Amino acid sequence: MSQQGQLLESARRAYGERDWPTARDRYQQAATHGDLSAADRRNLADTAWWLGLTDDAIADFEAAALQHHKDGQPQEAAMAATEAAISYFLRGEEAIGSAWVGRAIRWLNGQPECLASGWLALLTQVEAQIARENLEDALAATHEVTRIGRECGDNTLVAMAIACQGRIAVKRGHVEAGMGLLDEALLMAMEEGFDPAAAGNIYCHMMSTCYELGDLQRMDQWVEQTKAWCDALPAAVLFRGICRVHQAQLLGIHGAWAQAEAEALRVCEELAEISVSNVAEAQYSLGEVRRLRGDFDSAERAYREAHQRGRDPQPGLALLRLSQGRIEEAAASIRTSLSTCTSTLMRARLLFAQCEIALAAGDTETSASDVAELTQIAQHYGTAGLRAMSLTAASCSQRCARIGLRASTAARRLRCITSPAGLFSSSLSASANHAAPPSISPRSSS
């Protein structure tokens, strides 16, 4: 066997074992002895992706796509093109990502339905529609993706579709059914031979869903499980960073502000060239911690950084204005955000903040309206975190109305009760009276 052949054999073995640093080293050495095949080039791109080398990953995904196309392999070319597109989308470069999606679609024209069709549909018809809160369209697309995955014998694609069905169900208020679907997808992700990138994606779906619901106990468990899963891999830069985003959120909720800030800053550094949305979320977390510590200038800078990366800085920015005594600005900004919000779960957080701002402004009519809508949302979803929000807001608003408590005093009480540590305690207390939907026992997926 030639020297390049030996290196390629070693690279492929390391890649199969998920030893991405070794696989990358061997592939790069093999490339000095001659051209790599399109399949090996795509594997090389994948090693770069896991190591957080996004520029290299994109370049090799693009090269693999073009080489597959030249070799008369349109389905493989479309898959590599889709992977290049995903990397661009993660970095916030939507125009280039969309161009590669368009190329993948063109390459599949006239081809029989295949795995590449399913993954493209997952990206463009499921994930994109969930992000826009077009839940009915997204749900219909998940059924098509599931069908394609089953017909092609790809358990990974099926599990991804099921995870998305779970998120959609939760967003529509079917929490128990949605969490059951997410649990099912996670069980599939733990099976031997399951694609690790998809497994990481499903873990992220679970953590995000727990955060949206305010299900802090379950979120805490899954953050720890995801950390253990990441630690079992030689490298997983993106997923470790995403895990740190959620870790920063939890630390902030627990009141461990210095640790939360450190985790968020690390995300901003490590994912700066990899994932714009996660850096934006980390910046928002920084804004929250700094606002609560009274470092208003730094908080405002962080909120602005989050906004520049596409993350709505509300309700944090409005609450910052409230803390600065700029109540009219606070009320106007939270009102604007509510007028454009299409997510019911996000709307709950905005309503909670608006209630606090309204009490500070003496606007008991708005606070009462906020409490009424929050109560409806909490009853619909039935989770501890949402119930804690609605009960706390209702208590302060009613106390103000019934005994003539000055609205500004009620707002201060609301702020005190609902500080991160206080709201966490309220959520745990509510959990004691209403158990969360059952979940699988977290275990290592390695």
Per-residue confidence band for 435, with pLDDT thresholds at 50, 70 and 90: very low
pLDDT of 434 reads 31
Delimit the domains of the chain by residue range. Answer: 3-218+322-433, 236-313
- The better pLDDT of the pair 334, 403 is held by 334
Tokens of 122: 């997952």
Choose among 183, 174, 184: nearest CA to 382.
174
pLDDT tens digits for range 150-159: 999 999 999 9
pLDDT of 110 reads 94
Per-residue confidence band for 401, with pLDDT thresholds at 50, 70 and 90: low
Please check the confidence at residue 416 and state whether its pLDDT lies above 50: no
Mean pLDDT on 371-390 = 92
pLDDT of 189 reads 92
Find tokens 């290049």 and name the residue: 84
Mean pLDDT on 240-245 = 94
* Superfamily of domain covering 3-218+322-433: Tetratricopeptide repeat domain (1.25.40.10)
pLDDT of 87 reads 96
Contact by Cβ (8 Å): 349, 373: no
Torsion, Cα of 248, 161, 62, 112 (10° steps): 180
Per-residue confidence band for 442, with pLDDT thresholds at 50, 70 and 90: very low
| Within this chain, domains 3-218+322-433 and 236-313 share the same CATH topology | yes
pLDDT tens digits for range 177-219: 999 999 999 999 988 889 999 999 999 999 999 999 988 888 8
Choose among 280, 266, 274: nearest CA to 309.
280
pLDDT of 409 reads 52
pLDDT tens digits for range 288-345: 999 999 999 999 999 999 999 999 999 999 999 999 999 999 999 999 999 999 999 9
- The CA distance from 419 to 44, in Å, is 47
- The CA distance from 285 to 231, in Å, is 24
pLDDT of 415 reads 54
Per-residue confidence band for 422, with pLDDT thresholds at 50, 70 and 90: very low
- CA–centroid distance for 157 within its chain: 18
- Which amino acid is present at 177? A
pLDDT tens digits for range 109-119: 999 999 999 99
- The CA distance from 325 to 342, in Å, is 29
Task: State pTM to two decimals.
Answer: 0.88
* CATH 1.25.40.10 describes domain 236-313: yes
Please check the confidence at residue 417 and state whether its pLDDT lies above 90: no
Please check the confidence at residue 445 and state whether its pLDDT lies above 60: no
pLDDT tens digits for range 36-46: 999 999 999 99
Q: What is the mean pLDDT of the chain?
A: 89
